[in-house]
């Protein structure tokens, strides 16, 4: 089985932040956008955040709400809050909105059927936080073939009966990598900005690393660009970061930031699907980047 579905199109994996799916007009707008995207572009997987709501609950309960480079410090006390908020009201709210918009949305987490396994790659420095290592792409493909839109809360199995919190951008990258699909990271900013706040429309891996190294890219944007680089390093032709709307609906041809391989033109075809991973097949190791000065409390997710 390849990354293509019955429609002949590779799946598109969309990550949406928690701020874009809070109750109200923005949630309905996103659901309508996703329904139109499915109609025009085919198979769709959605991964959502919800960090602001987790932080608000943590603060009400007197627990710290710290982040390092956009990743939440998830102590054993904080983990149940993350699980409850992301796999509970946030996921249910989004699934309900998508169903109202005409999609067959199915709420899941990576723990469901151990579809996504992760491991701690920070030596416990962030607590119960991991990065994806295995994705059951075959099971996901079966859902897509039935016209279902999987909607994931970014929680993964540690393979030993425990749960790990995963940054939603990195979770989405793991799904896209396993399915051989295109990755779209929606955010509440125009895209990646330079030091003077101007939008950067096209970035290569070397340019991204330079922006991270000099601190231009920081906080919550760090895991986003790491996710983009991870997918590019495993054969994708492009990744897009930007706000949802007409530009994102048409693959971000205008607005947002394209991530492309070194020497690649901005224009080009959608990434060619690669064979999907069978159940239990290890994913390629995430690329490593220099450790950089990190800022606490910046970014969502």
| pLDDT tens for each residue of 112-127 | 999 999 998 777 889 9
In the set 169, 181, 220, 299, the catalytic residue is 169
* Structural domain includes residue 119: yes
Active site residue 256: no
Q: Which domain holds residue 84?
A: 12-259
Rounded Cα–Cα distance for residues 172 and 110 (Å): 11
The total number of residues shown for the chain amounts to 301
- 198 located within any domain: yes
Q: CB neighbours of 288 closer than 8 A, spacing ≥ 6?
A: none
Which of these is catalytic: 17, 42, 50, 51? 51
Q: What number of CA atoms fall less than 13 Å from residue 264's CA on the CB side?
A: 23
Whether 216 maps to a domain, the answer reads: yes
- pLDDT of the residue at 55: 93
Residue 51 annotated as catalytic:
yes
pLDDT tens-digit readout, 196-250: 989 999 999 999 999 999 999 998 898 889 889 988 888 778 899 988 765 555 5
Residue 188 binned pLDDT confidence (cut-offs 50, 70, 90) = confident
- CA distances (Å), 98 to each of 47, 85, 262, 281, 285, in order? 13, 18, 37, 31, 33
Number of domains into which the chain is organized: 1
User: Is 50 considered catalytic here?
Assistant: no
* CA pair distance 171, 111, nearest whole angstrom: 12
Q: Which pLDDT value is given to residue 298?
A: 29
Q: Which of 224, 242, 252, 301 is catalytic?
A: 224
What are 243-264's pLDDT values in tens digits? 876 555 554 445 789 899 887 7
**Hey, which bits of 140-253 come out as E strands?**
148-153, 155-157, 163-165, 182-186, 202-203, 239-242
In the set 17, 18, 107, 301, the catalytic residue is 18
| Catalytic (active site) residue 15 | yes
> Has residue 65 been placed in a domain?
yes
- Residue 28: active-site member: no
Does residue 64 fall inside a structural domain?
A: yes
Q: Higher confidence at residue 300 or residue 197?
A: 197
CATH number at residue 147: 3.40.1160.10
Identify the bridge partners of residue 202 per DSSP, sorted by sequence position. 258
For residue 70, the SS3 value is coil
Tokens of 138: 């075959």
In a domain, 265, yes or no: no
Q: What mean pLDDT is predicted for residues 17-28? A: 91
Does residue 92 sit in helix, strand or coil? helix
Question: Does residue 255 lie within any of the structural domains?
Answer: yes
């Amino acid at each position: 089985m390849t990354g293509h579905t019955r429609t002949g199109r590779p799946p598109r994996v969309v990550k949406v932040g928690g701020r874009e799916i809070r109750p109200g007009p923005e949630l309905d707008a996103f659901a309508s956008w996703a329904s139109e995207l499915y109609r025009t572009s085919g198979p769709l997987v959605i991964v959502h955040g919800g960090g602001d709501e987790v932080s608000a609950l943590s603060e009400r309960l007197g627990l710290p709400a710290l982040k390092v480079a956009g990743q939440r410090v998830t102590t054993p006390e904080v983990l149940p809050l993350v699980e409850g908020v992301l796999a509970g009201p946030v996921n249910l709210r989004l699934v309900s909105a998508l169903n109202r918009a005409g999609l067959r949305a199915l709420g899941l987490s990576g723990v469901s059927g151990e579809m996504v396994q992760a491991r701690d790659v920070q030596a416990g420095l962030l607590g119960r936080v991991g990065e994806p290592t295995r994705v059951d792409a075959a099971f996901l493909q079966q859902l897509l073939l039935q016209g279902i839109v999987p909607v994931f809360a970014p929680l993964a199995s540690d393979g030993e009966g425990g749960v790990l919190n995963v940054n939603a951008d990195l979770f989405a990258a793991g799904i896209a990598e396993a399915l051989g699909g295109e990755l779209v990271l929606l955010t509440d900013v125009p895209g990646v900005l330079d030091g003077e706040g101007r939008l950067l429309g096209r970035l290569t891996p070397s340019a991204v690393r330079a922006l991270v190294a000099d601190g231009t890219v920081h906080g919550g944007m760090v895991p986003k660009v790491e996710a983009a680089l991870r997918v590019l390093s495993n054969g994708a032709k492009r990744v897009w970061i930007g706000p949802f709307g007409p530009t994102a609906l048409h693959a971000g041809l205008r607005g947002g930031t394209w991530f492309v391989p070194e020497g690649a033109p901005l224009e080009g075809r959608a990434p060619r699907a690669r064979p999907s991973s069978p159940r239990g097949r290890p994913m390629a190791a995430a690329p490593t980047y220099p450790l950089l000065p990190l800022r606490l409390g910046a970014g969502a997710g």
